[in-house]
Each structure stands twice: as structure tokens, then as C-alpha cells.
Amino acid sequence: MIRGAVVHMTGEQPLLVDLEAVPLPGDTVLVCSNLRATGGQRPSFIDAIDSTFVIPYQHIRFVEIAAAALGRRDGDAAGVELLESGPEPELELDEDLLRRVREA
């Protein structure tokens, strides 16, 4: 259980939630519980704080999960799987652009 994740909603104030697991790239909804405002109070739009909430990702800007909630130190990537897109391609330097930058 990931406690105290911050869900940044589109056009709304952030909300604190508890997540069962780290959201995956293929997910279309965020399933969470213990939804509350950042001050800890129950938002006016929910009836029961102990409900399970399903929020479509189209209404979410991003989800913030603290390193401590994942059981790791800052800067330590252990515990989070990153998608590997392969090696980055080598960038070709534009010598003419570099010459103009040096002259400026």
C-alpha cells in the first residue's frame, strides 16, 4: 500500500490518496482509497471516506509518489521499474550552427 500519494487533477486542487500499487503505463484509471484534501479533511464531493475511488486518467495531470512511500531513499531507483526505450540515438552536430553561436 502506498500511502499519501498526491493526485494532481486537471483544473482542481491536489488530493491525497492511498494506492494499492504504482500506476502502470497501460492503466486507464487510477484506483485509490482514503481520498482527502491536502489538509486532511474530506472533500465535499464524496459521501464516504472509506470508499474505493476510480478516477479516469483523462482527469489527472500527474500522480506524485514520494520516495519514502516506495520504501527507498531519494535518488535510488530501486523499487520502480522504468521503461527502457533503447539507447538514445547519437546527435549529429551542425557545424554551421556551432560556428554562428561562437561568433555571436
Digit-coded pLDDT (tens) for 75-85: 555 444 555 55
The domains of the chain are located at: 2-70
Confidence band (pLDDT; 50, 70, 90) for 100? confident
Whether 29 has a pLDDT exceeding 70, the answer reads yes
Q: Which of 6-10, 75-79, 96-100 has the highest mean pLDDT?
A: 6-10
Whether 93 has a pLDDT exceeding 90, the answer reads no
- Work out the percent of the chain whose per-residue pLDDT is above 90: 45
User: Nearest-CA neighbor of 37 among 7, 67, 3, 68?
Assistant: 7
Average pLDDT over residues 61-86: 68
For all residues of the chain together, what is the average pLDDT? Answer: 84
Neighbouring residues of 43: CB distance < 8 A, sequence distance ≥ 6 = 15, 35, 36, 37
pTM of the predicted protein model? 0.65
Provide the 8-state DSSP code for 66: -
Report how far residue 103's alpha carbon sits from residue 90's, in angstroms, rounded to the nearest whole number: 25
**Which CATH architecture fits 2-70?**
Roll (2.30)
More confident residue, 23 or 81: 23
